[in-house]
A = this chain, B = another copy of it.
Amino acid sequence: MVDRSALASVLQLGFSRATGPRKIVVETVVAWEGHFSAEELCRSLPQVGRATVYRTLASLQEEGVICRLMIDGRAPRYLLGGTQHHHHMVCTQCGAVQDIADCGVDDFVDTVAERFGYELDGHRLEIYGRCSTCVGGEGASS
C-alpha cells in the first residue's frame, strides 16, 4: 500500500541530510507489521538514540508517511500510511487495526462545522469493536 521505493526521498524528511541513523529508523518503520509505540521502536533499535527516534517519528508523521493513533489512555501508536485521509477500525481485544479508506462522514462533518460557524481543519473517526477472530475464538479455550 505504501510506496516503499519512495524511501529514498522520504529519508530526507524535513532535514537536509540523509543520515545513517535515520535510514535505520525509516527502514524499520516501513518494514514494521502492524502498529507500534515510540518506546517499542526505541527498544528494538538500541543502536539509535531515543531523541533521534522521536525526531524521526515526528518528521515521518509530518510528511504523512505514518499516522498516529490514540487508543484510550495508552501511549500513542503509529501506523504506516498517513498520506491519504482515512480512519481506523480498532479491535479492543487484540489491538488489530484496519484502515478505513473511504470517509463516509464528510457531509456530516461539513454540516456540523457550518452549524457551529467553524472553519474546518479536519476530523478524526475511530471505530471500536472486536474483530471476527476475537469474536469467533471466544469460549474455545475455556
Contact = CB atoms under 8 A, between A and B. Distances in A.
A109 to B, nearest CB: 5
Interface stretch (A13-21, A26-34, A40-48, A118-126): A118-126
Contact of A125 (B76, B92, B123, B130): B123
A124 B131 CA distance: 17
Nearest to A61: B73
A109 B103 CA distance: 10
Contacts of A118: 89, 91, 127, 129-132, 135
Chain copies in the assembled complex: 2
A125 B128 contact: no
Contacts of A109: 127
Interface in A92-142: 92, 98, 100, 104-105, 108-109, 111-113, 116-132, 135
Interface of A: 68, 70, 73, 76, 89, 91-92, 98, 100, 104-105, 108-109, 111-113, 116-132, 135
